[in-house]
Homo-oligomer: A and B are copies of this chain.
Amino acid sequence: MATSAARKMRRKGLAIMAVQTVASTTPADDSGEAPFGPAAALSCRECGTRYPLSPVFACQECFGPLEVAYDLPLGDPEGLRRRIEAGPANIWRYAPLLPVPADVTGKQNLNPGWTKLVKADNLARELGITGGLYVKDDSGNPTHSFKDRVVAIALEAARTFGLTTLSCSSTGNLAGAVGAAAARAGFRSCVFIPHDLEQGKVVMAAVYGGELVAIEGSYDDVNRFCSELIGDPIGEGWGFVNVNLRPYYGEGSKTLAYEIAEQLGWRLPDNLVIPIASGSQLTKIDKGLQELIKLGLVEDKPYKIYGAQAEGCSPVSAAYKAGHDVVRPVKPDTIAKSLAIGNPADGPYVLDIARRTGGAVEDVDDEQIVDAIKLLARTEGIFAETAGGVTVGVLRKLIETGQLDPAAETVVLNTGDGLKTLDAVSETTGPTATIRPTVAAFREAGLA
Q: Which of A211-219, A275-283, A287-295, A313-321 contacts B (4 or more CB under 8 A)?
A: A211-219
Cβ-based interface call for A108 (8 A):
yes
- A211–B274 CA distance with the chains assembled, in angstroms: 32
- Quick check: is A74 within 8 A (CB to CB) of the other chain? no
> Nearest Cβ distance between residue A27 and chain B, in whole angstroms?
24
CA distance A374 to B179 in the complex (A): 12
Q: Does A87 contact B (CB under 8 A)?
A: no
In contact, A377 and B208 (Cβ under 8 angstroms): yes
Chain B residues, CB < 8 A from A216: 434-437
Chain B residues within an 8 Å CB radius of A211: 432, 447
CB-contact partner of A183 in B200, B207, B381, B443, under 8 A: B381
Known: A208-B377, A228-B438, A381-B179. A431 touches B213 (CB 8 A): yes
A436 to chain B: which residues have CB within 8 Å? Answer: 215-217
Check if A183 sits within 8 Å of B379, measured CB to CB: yes
Inter-chain CA distance A110–B429, complex, in Å, is 22
The stretch among A325-333, A395-403, A416-424 that forms the contact with chain B is: A416-424
Known: A140-B140, A200-B419, A419-B144. Is A439-B208 also a contact (CB below 8 A)? no
Tell me the residues in window 387-436 of chain A with beta carbons closer than 8 Å to chain B beta carbons. Answer: 417-420, 422, 425-426, 429-436
- Closest CB of chain B to A18's CB: distance in Å? 16
Please classify how large the interface on chain A is, using the bins under 10, 10 to 19, 20 to 34, 35 or more. 35 or more
Stretch with Cβ within 8 A of B (4 or more), from A57-65, A114-122, A241-249, A337-345: A114-122
Query: Cα distance A195–B374 when bound, in Å?
Result: 22
Interface centre among A121, A429, A447, A448 (most CB of B within 10 A): A429
Instruction: Using known A-B contacts A144-B419, A432-B213, determine if residue A383 contacts B207 with beta carbons closer than 8 Å.
Output: yes
Across-interface contacts of A204 in B (CB, < 8 A): 383, 418-419
A214 B380 Cβ-Cβ under 8 A? no
CA distance A179 to B434 in the complex (A): 17
Q: Is the CB of A200 within 8 A of B200?
A: yes
Q: Report the Cα distance A216→B431, complex, angstroms.
A: 12
Q: How far is the CA of A39 from the CA of B133 in the complex (A)?
A: 35
Docked Cα-Cα span, A207 to B429, in Å, equals 6
Report if A122-B425 is in contact (Cβ < 8 Å); known contacts: A204-B419, A437-B224. no
Minimum CB–CB distance for A422 against chain B, Å: 5
| Nearest CB of chain B from residue A67's CB, rounded to whole Å | 27
Cβ contact within 8 Å between A203 and B435: no
CA distance A93 to B151 in the complex (A): 30
The minimal Cβ–Cβ distance linking A25 to chain B, given in whole angstroms, is 19
Taking the complex as formed, is A234 at the interface, i.e. its CB lies under 8 A from any CB of chain B?
yes
CB < 8 Å neighbour of A381 from B110, B379, B417: B110
Q: In whole angstroms, what is the CA distance A234 to B441 when docked?
A: 13
Given contacts A419-B419, A422-B200, contact A383 B180 (CB under 8 A): yes
19 pairs, CB–CB < 8 Å, chain A vs chain B: A108-B122, A110-B381, A140-B140, A176-B383, A179-B381, A180-B381, A181-B381, A184-B379, A195-B431, A199-B426, A203-B426, A203-B429, A203-B430, A204-B383, A208-B378, A208-B383, A213-B447, A225-B439, A229-B442
Supply 12 further A-B pairs (C-beta < 8 A) apart from A209-B374, A213-B433, A222-B437. A89-B114, A110-B381, A142-B382, A183-B380, A184-B379, A200-B422, A204-B383, A206-B431, A211-B447, A213-B447, A225-B438, A229-B439
